[in-house]
Amino acid sequence: MSQSIRYLLLGLLSLAIVVADQVTKVSVMETMRLHESIPVITNLFSITYIRNPGAAFGFLSSSSSSFRFVFFGLTSVFAVGLLAMIMVRMPKEDWMGRLSVAGILGGAVGNLLDRLRYGEVIDFLDFYLNGYHWPAFNVADSAITVGVVFLILHFATEKEPEDHPVVSGQPPS
C-alpha cells in the first residue's frame, strides 16, 4: 500500500471520529435540555447532557472563562500539532502506532472544536453504578482513551530491532 493511501486512510479515520463526535454532540444539544438524563441501562448507563468547562474530571472548571479559553485553546492546538508530527515521523510500517495516533488526533480535534465554538466541551455518556458516577464523557474522549491504551500496549509489546546483536556480552565492533 502506498504511503499516500496510508495517510489518506489515517486522515479518514481521524475525520470519521471528528464527524461522529460532532454529530452526536449536536444531536444531544438539539434533543435534550442541559442536565437532562435519559436512562438507557438502569443503574449503569444514561445519556446525560452536560457541559464541561474544564479538562478531564472538571480540572480548571472553576477558573475564569477567558483563562480557560486561552489555556485550553493553546494546549489543544499544541497537542494537535504534536500528534500530527508524531504521526508523520513514525516508521511507515508502524501501522498500529499510526492508527492509535490517528484516533487520539481525531478525539483531540473533536474536543478542540467544542472549545472554540462553545468555550466548553459537550459530554453525554454517563456510566454509574447506583450512586457512584464515572465523570461523563463523549465520543472524542473515548477515541483519545482507546488510542492511548492501544499506543501504550503497542509500545509495551514492541520488539527491539535486531540490527545490532550483542555477542558474548561485547558490543559489535
Tens of pLDDT, residue by residue over 73-127, are 788 788 888 888 887 788 888 888 999 999 999 999 999 899 889 988 999 999 9
Q: Establish if 161 belongs to a structural domain.
A: no
Q: Establish if 168 belongs to a structural domain.
A: no
Cβ(40)–Cβ(47) below 8 Å: yes
**Alpha-carbon gap, residue 70 to 54, rounded angstroms:** 12
Which of the residues 21, 114, 126, 141 is marked catalytic? 141
**Domain around 147:** 3-156
24: confidence class by pLDDT, cuts 50, 70, 90: very high
The count of domains in the chain is 1
Q: Establish if 21 belongs to a structural domain.
A: yes
Which of the residues 21, 114, 123, 126 is marked catalytic? 123
Q: Establish if 164 belongs to a structural domain.
A: no
Biggest CA-to-CA distance, the chain: 70
Please state the pTM of the whole predicted model: 0.81
Q: Which residues pair with 144 in a beta bridge?
A: none
To the query of whether residue 141 is one of the catalytic residues in this protein, the response is yes
**Alpha-carbon gap, residue 153 to 90, rounded angstroms:** 16
To the query of whether residue 163 is one of the catalytic residues in this protein, the response is no
